[in-house]
Structure 1
Amino acid sequence: MIIVAGAAWWWLVLVYLMFGVGIGASRPCAQVLLVNLLPKEALVAGNGAMSFIDNLAAVILPATVGVLIILWDPVWGILIDGITFFCAAIFTASLPDMEAHDSDEMLTLRAAFNGMAVICRHPTLTLGFAATLVVNVLCFPVFLVVAPYAVSARFGDAMWAICLAASGAGACIGSVVTVLAAGHQRLNGLAVISGLILSAAMVLLGIAGAAWIIVLGAVLVGFVEASWLTGWATSMQILSPQNDLGKVVAMDTFITNGAYPFIYLGSGLVAGVVGYPETLIIVAIICAMGTAGVALASALQASGSGRVPK
């Protein structure tokens, strides 16, 4: 509505800041809420369902709101998006409150940062967090910032809208596959596979000359995003002590989302110097190197415990 009304730019910055605060607060709350509502064996299905519904909108909205953007003006698409958030807020406010949870622990900033200590004490969580830095922190922001320019320069603006819808479809598929394959039980293997697929997807987006290959790259990015985040979220819920789960998820959110502005800025600066397709190739190489590091750490971890890595 601020964009439609033509308000000053700083209003838009303020709104996006508030939006980021809401996202940062909602993720830990949603993770803890699922643990309180579902048994452990159903957590992966709950996370998969949330991811599926969330990404289904990425398929439907480009096919509906996208028509309004093309026929009229982009601000109408943003306005409709804002209305959906408003409706979601009203629905959330109407939900009944849960019983208060009493705790003897003081809520302090130091207590919140204890989530990192919990992650470092558990080998699987440590490896999963490292994979998250490669897959989630590095590659996904670059896909959103750099890929639009690389794709639009070769195939036009409409192709990027198709890529977003394709990414949403891939995410829906990834959510279902992770649930059916119980990917959270093989987190180390899921991390390596996700990194390799994402590296290949970045290469396709950077150098492919055919439209269908570009769309395939977008599908693979969405597939990895949903499958990894579903598996990683479930692993945090199962492996973290119940009293520390909120701290673990909050620290994961703080580190990953806190790094996004620097990734956005850095990838934009690099792309301005070397070019957008070249930046995607560079990210693919870094992602492959990071994945190799995760695979090596997984193998060393397994050899130290005397078992084969999953």
Structure 2
Amino acid sequence: MTSESGGGLLRSRDFRLLLSGAAAGQLGAQVTLVALPLVAVVELDASPLQTGILTAAETAAFLLVGLPAGAWVDRMRRLPVLIRADVVRALAMAALPLAAWAGVLTMTQLYLVALITGVATVFFDIAHQSYLPSLLPREKLVAGNGALETVRSSAQMAGPGVGGVLVQVAGAPLALLADAVGYLLSALCLRGIRTPEPPPAPATGEPLRAQVLEGLAFVFRNPALRMIACSTAVANFFAAMLTAVQTVFLVRVLDLPAGAVGLMLSAAAVGGLGGALCADVLGRAVGRARVIWVAPLLTGPFALLWPLAGRGAAAAWFAVGEAVVFFGAVVYNVAQVSFRQLLCPDALLGRMNATLRFVVWGTMPFGALVGGAVAGAYGARAAVWLCAAGFLLVPLPLLLSPLRRLRDLPAVPVAG
């Protein structure tokens, strides 16, 4: 573990590389957030249900391999897992523009690439959240997570706008090359990290099923983690609904061109960047545990601005709602991820993160399918209304949890 004390995190060369890799990967991924559904909607004339299936394919991996992935990650050094996942995602995304140039691109291929990149993302995300505590001292985890969220939100702010411009200028399939390049750059940055990573715990001969159950038990026996899982699962269900229908809503209902769609989606990242920059200050002022429920309680109602958006200047209501809701979401994420990392022993980090990911991301395929089905049956605006109403439910489990009685984060891990 590094021995930083008091100085800025950016003095650490290896943490700078971790941040640079996150920026490159996220920038490419955010270009894809615009380009992939536009390939489906504009190039392949996909229906709302098909865009819902596409979004579901991107997140289905958390249901398929989410739980065992955590046990596998706990058996391995995490940095090599991150590098391999980036390489797989780069190769998968590069296949799409090649198929488009050859004139053989289909929705089936979009579904397949979304599923492959989703599986790689499962391993990447679990390993990434489990790796940070081996790179930074415990007292710097909140600041480290805040820095990662700042870089991620900056990439998310720029990515959709860049993606929209690339789609208008070069076409949606070619814009997907930016994602492949981003993943490759991320892999190169991660490969340059030199801080020794502690070896995984020695193999105990315990079967995979027992190790998975140990991670499940750790999460669900802890009432605070249980309610964090429930709240985040609700948020992700309705966020996936929005992701599935927002391109159809912006293009076919609000009549926005590709460039404007990118800028509209960048509003979420502007809010997210503000949340990342303010998360540490708000945590100190409000309480690092208390802010976990305060943030979604105060910002969630702004989701009601999404369906109020109209053509012309009234489209700005969608952007305002995105900015405020995602401000709160990032403050919440920095606080709750830090809470989880501080609460959990190192040997269980992979399985704890995998369990949480399985639960909170496992709702997303269903949300995407429901969003596509509702938009297909009743129109995209009706689906967006349902998404907005759903965000009002997010803070309820947190308000019923022990987090309401806590001000700050735990000082030491609890027993597994």
Normalised-by-shorter TM-score class: 0.7 to 0.9
Task: Return 24-33 or 84-93, whichever deviates more.
Answer: 84-93
Is 2:358 the partner of 1:254? yes
Deviation at 1:148, TM superposition (A): 2.7
Task: State the match for 1:149 in structure 2.
Answer: 248
On the 8 A contact 2:307/2:381 being kept in 1, the answer is: yes
1:171 partnered with 2:272: yes
Distance change >3 Å, CA 73–CA 151, structure 1 → 2: closer
Shift of 1:173: 0.8
Aligned residue for 1:238, secondary structure, equals helix
Matched, 1:116 2:216: yes
Q: Which residue of 2 aligns with 1:22?
A: 120
**Contact 2:371/2:383 (<8 A) preserved:** yes
One-letter identity of the residue aligned with 1:4: P
Query: Does residue 360 of structure 2 align to residue 267 of structure 1?
Result: no
Q: Which residue pairs with 2:14 in the alignment? A: none
Note if contact 1:124-1:188 (Cα within 8 Å) is conserved in structure 2: no
Distance change >3 Å, CA 309–CA 219, structure 1 → 2: same
Aligned residue number for residue 389 of structure 2: 285
- Structure 2 counterpart of 1:197, from 299, 302, 310: 299
SS of the residue 1:156 aligns to: coil
SS at match of 1:101: coil
Contact in 1 for aligned 2:229/2:359 (Cα 8 Å)? no
| TM-aligned CA deviation for residue 217 of structure 1 | 1.0
Q: Is the alpha carbon distance of 1:207 and 1:117 closer, same or farther for their aligned partners in structure 2, counting shifts above 3 Å? A: same
> Closer, same or farther in 2 for the Cα pair 1:222/1:31, shift >3 Å?
same
> In 2 relative to 1, CA 89–302 (structure 1 residues): closer, same or farther, beyond 3 Å?
closer
Gap regions ≥5 residues in structure 2: 1-93, 409-416
Q: For the structure 1 residues 283 and 99, does the alpha-carbon distance in structure 2 shift closer, same or farther, using more than 3 Å as the test?
A: closer
User: Residues 13 and 280 of structure 1: is their aligned pair in 2 closer, same or farther, counting only changes over 3 Å?
Assistant: closer
CA deviation profile, 1:26-52 (whole Å, cap 9, x unmatched) = 122112211122222211111111122
Report the Cα offset of residue 171 of structure 1: 0.8
| Counterparts in 2 of 1:28 and 1:51: CA distance versus 1, 3 Å | same
Match of 1:227 among 331, 356, 366: 331
* Among candidates 344, 348, 352, match of residue 244 of structure 1: 348
Partner in structure 1 of residue 263 of structure 2: 162
Find 1:62's aligned residue among 139, 154, 160.
160
Q: Residues 211-226 of structure 1 correspond to what in structure 2 (within 5 A)? A: 211-226=315-330
Amino acid of the structure 2 residue aligned with 1:194: P
The residue aligned with 1:180 is 281
Query: Which residue identity lines up with residue 222 of structure 2 in the other structure?
Result: H
1:197 Cα shift?
1.9
- Residues 23, 43 of structure 1: alpha-carbon distance in 2 compared, 3 angstrom cutoff: same
- Cα deviation, 1:117-176, whole Å, max 9, x if unaligned, reads 1122222212211211122x2232122112332233125134321121111111111112
With over 3 angstroms needed to count, the CA separation of the structure-2 counterparts of 1:159 and 1:204, relative to structure 1, is farther
Q: Percent identity?
A: 23
Residues 118 and 188 of structure 1, relative CA distance in 2, 3 Å threshold: farther
Residue in structure 1 matched with residue 40 of structure 2 by the alignment: none
Residue identity opposite 1:263 in structure 2:
G
Aligned match for 1:13, one of 107, 111, 123: 111
3-state SS of paired residue (1:182): helix
Asked if the contact 2:234/2:363 (under 8 Å) is kept, the reply is: no
2:293 aligned partner, one-letter code: A
Q: C-alpha separation between the residues in 2 aligned to 1:177 and 1:20?
A: 30
- Segments of structure 1 that go 5 or more residues without pairing to the other structure are none
Structure 1 pair 195–160 and aligned structure 2 pair: CA distance change class (3 A): farther
Cross-structure match for 1:138: 237
User: How many residues are paired up?
Assistant: 302
Q: Give per-residue Cα distances to partners, 1:212-238, cap 9 Å, x unaligned.
A: 322111212321332222222111101
Aligned residue for 2:226?
Answer: 126
Alpha carbons 2:156, 2:266 under 8 Å: kept: yes
Residue among 189, 193, 197 paired with 1:98: 197
Contact 1:131 1:191 in 2 (8 A): no
RMSD over aligned Cα atoms: 2.7
Q: 1:208 maps to what in 2? A: 309
* Between 188-197 and 36-45, the greater mean CA deviation after superposition: 188-197
Deviation, structure 1 residue 4: 1.9
Query: Which amino acid is 2:237 matched to?
Result: L
Taking a change above 3 Å as real, the CA distance of residues 99 and 245 of structure 1, as seen in their structure-2 partners, is closer
1:62 offset after TM fit, Å?
3.4
CA distance in 2, matches of 1:308, 1:13: 43
Deviation at 1:107, TM superposition (A): 6.0
Query: SS where residue 201 of structure 2 aligns?
Result: coil
- Normalised to the residue count of structure 2, the TM-score between the two structures is 0.65
Cα deviations across residues 158-211 of structure 1 (Å, max 9, x unaligned)? 43211211111111111121122227954455335315523422x111113423
